[in-house]
Chain A
Amino acid sequence: MAQPVISARGLTKRYGAFTAVDGIDFDIAPGESFGFLGPNGAGKSTTMRMIAATSTRTDGTLSVLGLDANHHGPEIRAQLGIVPQGDMLDEELRVIDNLYVYGRYFGLPRAYVKARSEELLDFAQLREKRTARVDGLSGGMKRRLTIARGLINNPKVMLLDEPTTGLDPQARHVLWDRLFRLKEEGVTLVVTTHFMDEAEQLCDRLVVIDKGTIVAEGSPQSLIREYSTREVLEVRFGSARNEAAAGRLEGIGERQELLPDRVLIYADNGEQALQAVTERGLEPVTSLVRRSSLEDVFLRLTGRSLIE
């Protein structure tokens, strides 16, 4: 790997007796799209705040753009674009003014910030909302404005904390499209998400994080290859009968997971597995064959579902 832009060893954050992040190691290369995938409360946002140098680490080392995050906060943040989970826009200001005031916080000249704000308005596809107050924008628009705000200082690294949480599918795709453009330009993206489709879409490489520790690392494809089968057969027998049916599925596929509402059968060929199920005289109410996803990886690694 080229000289990493972000590098952590034994990174730890404790709040009193509670350990939010428990000694994690990772390196992020320049231009890479790197993801932290895990359920709510896994320690992703805390890790992001430590990278942004807005939260002091308790232990370990953390270097961001070659600087120690505990000692060079302002210098580090000057080079980061941060998109926090809760937007944090000034809702009483107009769209364009939100970009302007924020740009000034980076010590950039007035005239430059003005011109840059106009440029980013186009990037965020908010031209027609230029003088609208922020509190009247839709969730997707606010999110795009937050991303535009994060770009005002021409950052080397973008930190995106749950970028599409709470958005409808269409708004998510618009957002992903904007982020792809940045990725193509070689901007380093660091993303936290609890959506496996988002991780698959955006991340070159990711770590699966659970209860403050890293449980797996790799590209989405390699993680799926390593921890899951090519396909998954989902069968439902009705919630009262799933457990009884699961007992009779022994030997079909590589592995099975019994969930409250369905049974997952991991197999390289889902159709064959389904045939095997019906040959045993079982008749599922519904059945679905799909490709394995990071959700399955997570389930395998932790025994729990990502979205609970």
Chain B
Amino acid sequence: MTAPATYKAVIDHTVVADHQKVRRWGWAHVVEHMVLRMRSYVSTMLLTGIGSPFLYLLGLGFGLGVLVDQGEGIEGVPYLTFVAPALVMATAMQVGAQENTYGVFGGFKWTNMFNAMRLSPVSPGQMAMGMQAGTLVRVVPMLGFYLVALVLFGIATPLRALAMLPIGLLLALAVGSAVMAWVATQKDDRGQLSFIERFVIVPLTLFSGTYFPLETLPGYLQPIGWISPLWHAAELGRAVMYDMAMSPLMWLVHIGFLASVAAIGAVLSVRVFRRRLDG
């Protein structure tokens, strides 16, 4: 049908969607969407991001730290130096888990993010990967605030603080993709989502040699630390921050463990996303 000259057509047939480009960059568009969503809660993000490092460092430094340092500190360093890398990593773990608990569950059930993306050329695998990349985008500023605080408190040099960042990101990726692989299988929230925080994240923080060396625990509790991504990342953090002694083999073990958890979680997540989004 011919339209009058003044009529502006709604459809412009000269513009064609580029599904080849989406095949390469689909995940990045998912990140873009997540960043836009962050705008609505940026103030809470800033508040907790800046507030919690100071609270923890002040509390532990002036409290527990004073007590511990009356002895000889831990592993020959002041308590705050010992605990700081683990606190940074615990933050990375927490943000990675949170984003992939409510972000993933909500993406299927509340915000419809994934269901809407499904109507575009973006594939379910790209959604899962984009979500992980978007989590890292959120982890960076949270870790950033912490690391700046460490420098301000004189606990770390800027260079050593910066070196903690990639470890934190690897940890967030490992925890994030593992949590995603499970949460994506959950169809209804009957309170089980909060179990992750209560019965996984908190216990892991307590038994991963965060506030005290893992070796302090009785032998039968130490394996909890060995399978805890947080312990592996905290050890790496300590090696980076105050040259805690670590053999090349253990470097490999720690990095290898985190990378494996991230990889297995990612493979499972992609599989679950695919299955769930094929109606």
Q: Which residues of A contact B (CB under 8 A)?
A: 46, 49, 52, 54-56, 73-75, 77-80, 82, 84, 86-93, 97, 100-102, 104-108, 112, 116, 120, 123, 150-151, 153-155, 181-182, 184-187
With A108-B18, A185-B11: A77-B115 Cβ-Cβ less than 8 Å: no
CB-based contact A182/B37 at 8 Å: no
Indicate which residue in A46, A77, A87, A181 contacts B120 across the interface (CB closer than 8 Å). A77
Indicate which residue in A75, A105, A182 contacts B11 across the interface (CB closer than 8 Å). A182
**Which residues of B, 251-279, contact A by the 8 Å Cβ criterion?**
277-279
CB-based contact A88/B121 at 8 Å: no
CB-based contact B111/A153 at 8 Å: no
| Complex alpha-carbon distance, A100 and B39, angstroms | 15
Interface string of B1-29 (1 = CB under 8 A from A): 10100000111110111111111011001
A187 to nearest B CB, angstroms? 6
| Complex alpha-carbon distance, A120 and B279, angstroms | 29
| Complex alpha-carbon distance, A230 and B75, angstroms | 95
Known: A46-B279, A88-B112, A185-B10. 20 other contacts (CB 8 A): A52-B119, A74-B19, A74-B121, A78-B16, A78-B18, A78-B120, A79-B16, A82-B119, A89-B112, A89-B116, A93-B36, A102-B120, A105-B26, A106-B17, A107-B17, A107-B18, A107-B20, A107-B25, A123-B10, A185-B11
CB-based contact B11/A77 at 8 Å: no
| Complex alpha-carbon distance, A74 and B120, angstroms | 7
User: Which A residue's beta carbon lies closest to that of B10?
Assistant: A123
User: Which B residue's beta carbon lies closest to that of A106?
Assistant: B17
CB-based contact B111/A154 at 8 Å: no
Contact residues in B for A123 (Cβ distance below 8 Å): 10
B67 to nearest A CB, angstroms? 45
CB-based contact A108/B40 at 8 Å: no
User: Which B residue's beta carbon lies closest to that of A186?
Assistant: B1
